Amino acid sequence: MRIPKQTLSLCCSLSLLLLIHFPASSYQQCPPPPPPEECPPPPPPPPEECPPPPPPSLPPPPPPPPPPPSPPPPPRPLSRPHPPPSLSFPSLALRQAFFGLHALKSSITSDPNNFTANWQGTNVCKYRGILCYPAPYNSSIITVAGIDLNHANIAAPFPKEISHLADLAFFHINTNRFTGALPSTLADLCYLAELDLSNNLFSGKFPSVVLSLPSLKYLDIRFNSYSGVLPSGLFEMNLDVLFINNNKFNSPFPQNLGNSPIPFMVLANNNLPGCLPPNIGNMSGTLEQIVILNVGLTGCLPPEIGELNQATVFDVSFNSLEGTLPKEIQSMEDLEQLDVAYNKLRGDIPECICDLPHLLNFTYSSNYFTAEPPMCLRLKAQDDRFNCIPNRPNQRLPQDCIKFLARPLDCNAFGCSVIPPLPPLPPPAEGPSLSPPSTEDPSPDPPSDPSPPCLICIP
């Protein structure tokens, strides 16, 4: 802000007047003000008091002991399932089956083919692999009569809740991955006629619970890993079919085999050493097919096998049987397939065997037979390789035949049934000698013995 000149002039005039009328000496000079009193320094702050030391720490109290374990809940009775109130079933049998099937489904650990995908809802008769029929005790009641899970590739333990399916007539689960032991509740299936557990992963001892199934007719446990002893009661069961082959059973051959009424029996590929018991002849009239290959049989074939007059298949190949073929085989008039290959049998093959009316396949390769009748060569399927038969192709080396045939044989030495000792074998009727060539002058051959009596066919 700019001050005007007139104002500045007035101010200067007033100042001069004051100085003229009031000289400086006329003023009473004030004493200088006393110096200000210095404030005392503030008192020092009180020293900070240290907090009291904490009381000595005590060890933490031990944790309270855990409460005693509560007893396990009692098992839920299998015969009294409790469905949700919203579920309804046409019959009590289907209600029970529902819980048995869903117990099976819940135990499945792998179902790569989704075989049980439609096991939903209460209409169990529509489930895949489930077959319903009228109940055996009341034709007006529909019940689950069969389970067919063949080739489903399911992995699961065998469910103990199988007893809910009390009306089952057949249970087929071959070619899966079931494991574990068969539960004792399986014995509750009093109508079960067919049990097929083949080609699974079962192991352990023979599932003895099957011996308690009163209606069982078809038992198939082949291609598993069962081991141990075969129970003698197995051959007392009133079965139609028994397949136990390709397991790991290791026990003496069952000597009560002849007590069995089973028409179809396969025991192959187990370890059942011993003799074929003579009481096999007791199966006359019932036995139709028996396969005992590769089980470790020793001894001689008992002549009682000729009593199996209804047998169509008799296979004892891949064993260690010795002796000759019993002439009594000619009585097996229904025989279609006879296989004695890969044993240690010797002697001539009786012509009457190859003359059986229905014989189509006769395999006797890899033995030590020394002669065969021409009739055997006319069969549709026969195999005589690796024997000691002169003038036939693909036979054993002569020195091997001589060494084996020179060993005397007594069928009684095996501890089996009493069989007359074999007479000496005659030399081959024709063809080159089995003896190695000699550089010495041949001596006259002794007269040949007559044919052994066991090679004469029964009239």
Please give the average per-residue pLDDT across 174-191, as a whole number. Answer: 96
Residue pLDDT, tens place only, 242-278: 999 999 999 999 999 999 999 999 999 999 999 999 9
Give backbone dihedrals phi and psi of 435, rounded to 5 degrees, phi first: -75, 150
Q: Compute the distance between CA of residue 219 and CA of residue 241 in angstroms, rounded to an integer.
A: 6
Specify the pLDDT at position 430.
Answer: 43
Q: Compute the distance between CA of residue 450 and CA of residue 459 in angstroms, rounded to an integer.
A: 19
Specify the pLDDT at position 330.
Answer: 96
Please give the average per-residue pLDDT across 349-365, as a whole number. Answer: 96
Residue pLDDT, tens place only, 428-454: 444 433 433 333 333 333 333 333 333
Show the tokens assigned to 459: 């009239």
Which of 40-44, 126-130, 386-390 has the least mean pLDDT? 40-44
Please give the average per-residue pLDDT across 278-286, as a whole number. Answer: 95
Specify the pLDDT at position 14.
Answer: 44
Residue pLDDT, tens place only, 50-86: 455 555 555 555 666 666 666 655 555 444 444 555 5
Q: Compute the distance between CA of residue 338 and CA of residue 368 in angstroms, rounded to an integer.
A: 17
Comparing 424 with 234, the larger pLDDT belongs to 234
**For the residues of 135-148, what is the DSSP string, one character each?**
ETTEEEEEEEEEEE
Give backbone dihedrals phi and psi of 10, rounded to 5 degrees, phi first: -65, -40
**For the residues of 297-352, what is the DSSP string, one character each?**
EESB--GGGGG-TT-SEEE--SS--EE---GGGGG-TT--EEE--SSEEEEEPPHH
Comparing 86 with 136, the larger pLDDT belongs to 136
* pLDDT surpassing 80 at residue 338: yes
Please give the average per-residue pLDDT across 346-367, as a whole number. Answer: 96
Please give the average per-residue pLDDT across 143-163, as a whole number. Answer: 95
Whether pTM > 0.75 for this model: the answer is: no
* pLDDT surpassing 90 at residue 129: yes
